[in-house]
Amino acid sequence: MDDRLFAEMDAIFHPRSMAAIGVKEDMGNQGMSFLLGYRNQGFTGPLYAIHPTRKLKEFDTYPSLLDVPGPVDMVKIALPARLVPGVIRDCGKKGVRSAVIFSSGFRESGTAAGAALEEELVASAREGGVRIIGPNCMGIYCPESGMSLRVDMPALKGGELSLISQSGGVSNSLVMAAAERGIGFAKAVSYGNESDLGPVEFLPYFADDPRTKVIAVYVEGTRRPEEFRRALAEAAAKKPVVALKGGTTAVGSRAVSSHTGALTGTGEVWKAVVRQAGAHWAEDLDELLDLCLLLSLSRPPAGRRVCLLTISGGFGVFATDQITRAGFEMPPLSAGTRERLAPFIDAPGSNLGNPIDMAAKFFQPQNYDSIFPVLRDDPNFDAYIMILANEYMAYLGKNLRSWSEFVVKALIPTLKKIGKPVYIVLMRTAGEDVRLDHERTLLAAGFPVFPTVARCLTALNRSIR
Amino acid sequence: MDDRLFAEMDAIFHPRSMAAIGVKEDMGNQGMSFLLGYRNQGFTGPLYAIHPTRKLKEFDTYPSLLDVPGPVDMVKIALPARLVPGVIRDCGKKGVRSAVIFSSGFRESGTAAGAALEEELVASAREGGVRIIGPNCMGIYCPESGMSLRVDMPALKGGELSLISQSGGVSNSLVMAAAERGIGFAKAVSYGNESDLGPVEFLPYFADDPRTKVIAVYVEGTRRPEEFRRALAEAAAKKPVVALKGGTTAVGSRAVSSHTGALTGTGEVWKAVVRQAGAHWAEDLDELLDLCLLLSLSRPPAGRRVCLLTISGGFGVFATDQITRAGFEMPPLSAGTRERLAPFIDAPGSNLGNPIDMAAKFFQPQNYDSIFPVLRDDPNFDAYIMILANEYMAYLGKNLRSWSEFVVKALIPTLKKIGKPVYIVLMRTAGEDVRLDHERTLLAAGFPVFPTVARCLTALNRSIR
């Protein structure tokens, strides 16, 4: 990306002041939600509210953008569609650099009037030198600048994932689902109808953005397929990129046209484009997030030989079936490993095959340093999958939380000594609150955590291009 | 099932007194865990602890079973394997009706000594007229009798699911995972090595048990394939039966032999057996539980025509792809439905196609009675899938919980008026604790709830045999 364009894009993620246009004090008003979101995120510049007649208590309010005394770098527009082109003309006059248009009722409406309105707003923007995000989108999330998609977005700073999403629902959902597990996003953008900016601009920007380690793209369709393909390939050459496509079936495609008005193309064509670009393909939101976590925290396995560690024989049986069906191998432990582990994995019900069933021995963290580092020296494996069924984590002791926290914390340094990727499956059984705590602890320590063996295997398979 | 055998099996689930053999006061001691589990569940009969030298504070302790003054209906044995046959002989002398043998180190050990020990204990049991559950199992869970698999099992009474599981880990995990969502089991049994009782006996018992509505079976293998097949078909003729097989691959099968020592057979053979028997096939634990919930709370759709309801266009696009790929149809709304709904689903961003995107209108429960009952009269659909992305549920209002609870509670009576199956997808995004609360509320109201569209569709497909 050339320096001038990078700077222009970077400015969109770092505005010095923001005005929300169409702000009422009603519960659920979007303009208000944007302003409160920025305030909650700690946005440090001036925040202005624009409303022709009302005055807000919480924010400086002006009847029009042109009445704002200071400069305004970015606006968020939550007005009826027909009023938007006029406001965009004001933006040009005011020297606004970018406008996020939340309003819908443009091309995605499927009407000639909607399409004409969108053309009018794009022409106004070009004329005034304003870059457009949207319409029909949520816009930009950037915790480092204090920019939010809405009032209740998490303000987790320091995340390394960045997201480009055509859908506002998808961007909000992914950011919030990741935050629930303690994982932050560096930046996210929901771009809706792509009347101006879209993946073609955001992909190269994120590819050069030093704060972004992994890029996720959710796209429903584009009117710039060739440019999209090139941007995807160039970004994937620099960083891991995970792509998810909505509307891969005929009926889904019909749903797209009334959602963001985009041209879709078939799923197979998109999959081929993504693969040829060297990006990773995800089939749904869970896969997208799983894969981003795997690629940001760990690395894909170097080969397909898996060692499975469990604390329950039944789960071991299942997972073995699943691992085998997913195309991975489960070679036996080397003789040396068996010999060195035998004194430590010897409880009734435990098993030193592959899977290794640690059974009750799992609950003796004093032996971890005699067990896990041994696996480092076994040449038979490329990766380790460890299944922690949560109700076992809460098995012993009355103060279940402190006990299981002790075990999880003991696992971390010693699992790291294995020196090959360790993927953890924290099954959802009993004690969801406990599980979520453990998941956050393990993710923060750099271990990818999955709620099921199936999701772990899908992520592994998709991580190996 | 003949009356005599039914009564014999029923007695196993309703013992009047219980003794745990091999009880120490150590944290994690299994004998102690069994006794405390029964006490926590409210078992009303006498509970005895057996230990040759120690005395327990909490329970009447005797050096041997033969020293217990009153009758003992059931024993749970947590002793080293070599001591078990002797205790079984004592059981015969004492008139004990059934013994749950937790101990491992029998046939599943793969040693000749282990196999010989198992034969010895079976011979002793036959001689003394004692029925055996196990060895290498957790035994029986029955909240109505106060019987537990371990100290911390939930005591939810009134559940309608019953489970027959070869693995103790699987039985514990399923019971606890269901309880987390407020769903109780009527009965569960973990039977391990199947030295005496197994699915051949438990299937007909549950099929005739008036408290059981749906039967789940987790099996790794059996030495009685013909009897199993017959029992499965006879049970499935009476009630929905869902079967899950562990060890369907060659490597998984190897893992079975060291887990419960069973003969496995290939996955395809088992699948054919299950299908021919008229039972439902599940591929993993999540599928097993999803399918049980669907079959106990609702019914399979009468056909494959689905109407999708969402509150986010992006999710609607995805789900449409997934529904189509899963082999379901999404016909348009009938003209009459569109006309009647148009005044109520008219917010910007909403859409009256299929999917129906309710957008902001979802958050106006005052309109629910004008919306959902209309769908009852649309002849185009066999079933409705409603996606609630949890971060939307928590969108408006500061007191998020009370707001979203209000919405969920308003949904229940009006969704019921649709009169056709409604399946709900409560996506895991933000606010897992809120989501879990809503899930419990909706499950308690009789709606099957799934965490992803993919799991909902898998359950639907597997529910249609």
- Give all strands (DSSP E) within A178-304, no chain letters: 185-190, 214-219, 241-245, 280-282
Where is mean pLDDT largest: A169-173, A279-283, A363-367? Answer: A279-283
* Same-domain status, B279 and B379: no
Beta bridge partners of A187: A162
Contact at CB, A320 and B247, closer than 8 angstroms: yes
* Same-domain status, B377 and B338: yes
User: pLDDT tens for residues B256-299?
Assistant: 766 776 666 677 888 889 999 999 999 888 999 999 999 999 99
Here the tokens at position B211 are 């408290």
Least confident range of A51-60, B265-274, B448-457: B265-274
- Is residue A343 a contact partner of residue A371, using CB atoms and an 8 Å limit? no
Does the pLDDT of residue A177 top 50, yes or no?
Answer: yes
Residue range of the domain that includes A166 = 3-295
Determine the pLDDT at residue B398.
Answer: 44
- Residues in chain B with CB shorter than 8 Å from the CB of A363 are 28
Mean pLDDT of chain B: 91
Here the tokens at position A25 are 């004090």
**Strand (E) or helix (H) holding B415:** helix B400-416
Q: What integer is the mean pLDDT of B220-229?
A: 92
Contact at CB, B353 and A152, closer than 8 angstroms: no
Preferred mutation among A220, A288, A310, A317 to probe B, highest tally of B CBs within 10 A: A317
* Same-domain status, B91 and B232: yes
- Residues in chain B with CB shorter than 8 Å from the CB of A252 are 317-318, 320-321, 324
Closest-CA residue to A429 (of B87, B182, B172, B56): B172
Where is mean pLDDT largest: A244-253, A260-269, A354-363, B384-393? Answer: A354-363
Q: Which of A254, A323, A428 sits opposite B177 (nearest CB)?
A: A428
**Strand (E) or helix (H) holding A300:** none
The percentage of chain B sitting over the pLDDT mark of 70, rounded to a whole number, equals: 94
Q: Smallest CA–CA separation between B431 and chain A, in Å?
A: 7
ipTM above 0.85, yes or no: no
Q: Which of B104, B353, B396 sits opposite A255 (nearest CB)?
A: B353
- Residues in chain A with CB shorter than 8 Å from the CB of B317 are 167, 220, 246-247, 252, 255-256, 259
Q: Which residue in chain A is spatially nearest to B254 when comparing CA positions?
A: A317
Q: Which of B27, B316, B389 sits opposite A255 (nearest CB)?
A: B316
Does the pLDDT of residue B448 top 90, yes or no?
Answer: yes
* Same-domain status, B267 and B375: no
Contact at CB, B314 and A220, closer than 8 angstroms: yes
- Residues in chain A with CB shorter than 8 Å from the CB of B179 are 430
Least confident range of A314-328, B124-138, B273-287, B394-408: B394-408
Mark which of A272, A295, A318 sits at the end of a domain. Answer: A295
Backbone φ, ψ for residue B166 (5° rounding): -70, -30
Cis peptide before A210 (omega within 30 of 0): no
Q: How far is CA A161 from CA A4, A69, A106, A139, A164, in A?
A: 24, 36, 30, 17, 10
Burial label, A152 (beta-carbon count in 10 A; 0-12, 13-18, 19+): buried
Q: What integer is the mean pLDDT of A48-63?
A: 93
Does the pLDDT of residue A297 top 90, yes or no?
Answer: yes
Determine the pLDDT at residue A398.
Answer: 44
Q: Which of A27, A176, A251 sits opposite B429 (nearest CB)?
A: A176
Q: What integer is the mean pLDDT of A211-235?
A: 95
Closest-CA residue to B121 (of B147, B138, B103, B140): B103
Contact at CB, A317 and B349, closer than 8 angstroms: no
Contact at CB, B254 and A353, closer than 8 angstroms: yes
Determine the pLDDT at residue A397.
Answer: 40
Question: Domain total for chain A?
Answer: 2
User: pLDDT tens for residues A372-408?
Assistant: 999 988 999 999 999 987 666 655 444 566 777 888 8
* Same-domain status, B129 and B211: yes
Mark which of B238, B269, B295 sits at the end of a domain. Answer: B295
Determine the pLDDT at residue A169.
Answer: 86
* Same-domain status, A65 and A115: yes
Q: Which residue in chain B is spatially nearest to A436 when comparing CA positions?
A: B432
Q: What integer is the mean pLDDT of A205-225?
A: 95
Here the tokens at position B100 are 């749950």
Determine the pLDDT at residue A392.
Answer: 62
Determine the pLDDT at residue B43.
Answer: 97
- Residues in chain A with CB shorter than 8 Å from the CB of B247 are 317, 320-321
User: pLDDT tens for residues B105-136?
Assistant: 999 888 999 999 999 999 999 999 999 999 99
Q: Smallest CA–CA separation between A177 and chain B, in Å?
A: 4
Q: Which residue in chain A is spatially nearest to B312 when comparing CA positions?
A: A169
Contact at CB, A252 and B318, closer than 8 angstroms: yes
Q: Smallest CA–CA separation between B4 and chain A, in Å?
A: 33
* Same-domain status, B429 and B372: yes
Contact at CB, B430 and A176, closer than 8 angstroms: yes
Q: What integer is the mean pLDDT of B175-182?
A: 90
* Same-domain status, B321 and B253: no
Q: Smallest CA–CA separation between B313 and chain A, in Å?
A: 6
Determine the pLDDT at residue B392.
Answer: 63
- Residues in chain A with CB shorter than 8 Å from the CB of B166 are 314
Preferred mutation among B164, B191, B257, B318 to probe A, highest tally of A CBs within 10 A: B318
Q: Model confidence at A72, in pLDDT bands (50, 70, 90)?
A: very high
* Same-domain status, B130 and B180: yes
* Same-domain status, A310 and A348: yes
Determine the pLDDT at residue B447.
Answer: 96
Determine the pLDDT at residue B431.
Answer: 75
Least confident range of A27-41, A137-151, A249-263, B449-463: A249-263
Q: Which of A176, A313, A321 sits opposite B259 (nearest CB)?
A: A313
* Same-domain status, A140 and A181: yes
Q: What integer is the mean pLDDT of B343-362?
A: 85
Determine the pLDDT at residue A396.
Answer: 47
- Residues in chain A with CB shorter than 8 Å from the CB of B351 are 258-259
Determine the pLDDT at residue B135.
Answer: 97
Q: Which of A105, A314, A355 sits opposite B170 (nearest CB)?
A: A314
Determine the pLDDT at residue A155.
Answer: 87
- The CATH number of the domain holding residue B68 is 3.40.50.261
Determine the pLDDT at residue B313.
Answer: 76
Preferred mutation among A318, A356, A396, A399 to probe B, highest tally of B CBs within 10 A: A318
Q: Smallest CA–CA separation between B247 and chain A, in Å?
A: 6
Mean pLDDT of chain A: 91
Determine the pLDDT at residue A401.
Answer: 67
Contact at CB, A255 and B395, closer than 8 angstroms: no
* Same-domain status, A233 and A351: no
Q: Which residue in chain A is spatially nearest to B192 when comparing CA positions?
A: A314
Determine the pLDDT at residue B390.
Answer: 64
Determine the pLDDT at residue B209.
Answer: 98
Q: Which residue in chain B is spatially nearest to A170 when comparing CA positions?
A: B314
Separation between Cα atoms, residue B97 and residue B196, nearest integer Å = 13
- Is residue B265 a contact partner of residue B221, using CB atoms and an 8 Å limit? yes
Q: Model confidence at B396, in pLDDT bands (50, 70, 90)?
A: very low
Separation between Cα atoms, residue A353 and residue A345, nearest integer Å = 11
**Coil, helix or strand at residue B18:** strand
The percentage of chain A sitting over the pLDDT mark of 70, rounded to a whole number, equals: 95
Contact at CB, A256 and B220, closer than 8 angstroms: no
Q: Which residue in chain B is spatially nearest to A328 when comparing CA positions?
A: B251
Separation between Cα atoms, residue A381 and residue A333, nearest integer Å = 9
Here the tokens at position A285 are 């939101």
Q: Which of A285, A317, A363 sits opposite B246 (nearest CB)?
A: A317
Longest Cα–Cα distance of chain B, Å, equals 81
Determine the pLDDT at residue B183.
Answer: 93
- Is residue A419 a contact partner of residue A301, using CB atoms and an 8 Å limit? no
Here the tokens at position B133 are 């559950």
Q: How far is CA B405 from CA A2, A118, A169, in A?
A: 51, 39, 21
Contact at CB, B314 and A218, closer than 8 angstroms: yes
Mark which of B295, B315, B346 sits at the end of a domain. Answer: B295
Separation between Cα atoms, residue A160 and residue A333, nearest integer Å = 36
Separation between Cα atoms, residue A171 and residue A261, nearest integer Å = 18
Q: What integer is the mean pLDDT of B440-464?
A: 94
Preferred mutation among B150, B176, B317 to probe A, highest tally of A CBs within 10 A: B317
